[in-house]
Amino acid sequence: MKGQRDYSQARLTQHALERFIERFHTGDPQTAEPALRACLARTRRLGRNPRNGAVAVLAAYGNRMLVAILLEEAIATVLTMPQFAPRLPEFGRSRLPRKPGRMMRRLQRPDDPPPSP
C-alpha cells in the first residue's frame, strides 16, 4: 500500500526482541521474532531524529500500536505508543498522527482483528 514500508528483513537486535516480548506480552521467545517481523512488514514512518539518524516507524500488533526505532538499518528497540509519545518532538512531530484508528486499519492485514475502540 502507498506510504508503507517493509522492515521485516531489517536486523533485529536482542534488545528489541526482549522489549517486544516484555511490552507486548508474547511469552514464547521462539514465536516472538516471527511475530515481530510480521508486524514490521507493514509500517508507516513517523519521523527521523536528526541528532542520531534514528527513524521511528509505526506498526500494528493485533489491536495495539507498536513503534520500532531503527538505527543504522537495525531495529534498536520497540516501544508502545504511550512510551513513544513524549519522544515525538525528538522525531520532528509536535503531536500524535491524526486519525490513529484509520492508520491502524491500514496497517493491519485484512485477516487481522479490527482495532478496539
The grid coordinates listed for 32 are 516472538
State the pTM of this model: 0.81
- Of 43, 68, 65, the closest CA to residue 55 belongs to 68
Domain assignment of residue 115, yes or no: no
65 in Cβ contact with 80 (< 8 Å): yes
Residue 21: pLDDT band with limits 50, 70, 90? very high
Q: Which helix (H) or strand (E) holds 65?
A: strand 64-71
Per-residue pLDDT tens digits for 63-106: 888 999 999 889 999 999 889 989 989 998 887 767 666 666 66
Domain assignment of residue 48, yes or no: yes
pLDDT value for 96: 72
Residue 115: pLDDT band with limits 50, 70, 90? very low
Question: Three-state DSSP class for 67?
Answer: strand
Provide the number of structural domains found in the chain.
1
What is the rounded CA–CA span in Å between residue 42 and residue 36?
11
Domain that holds residue 42: 11-107
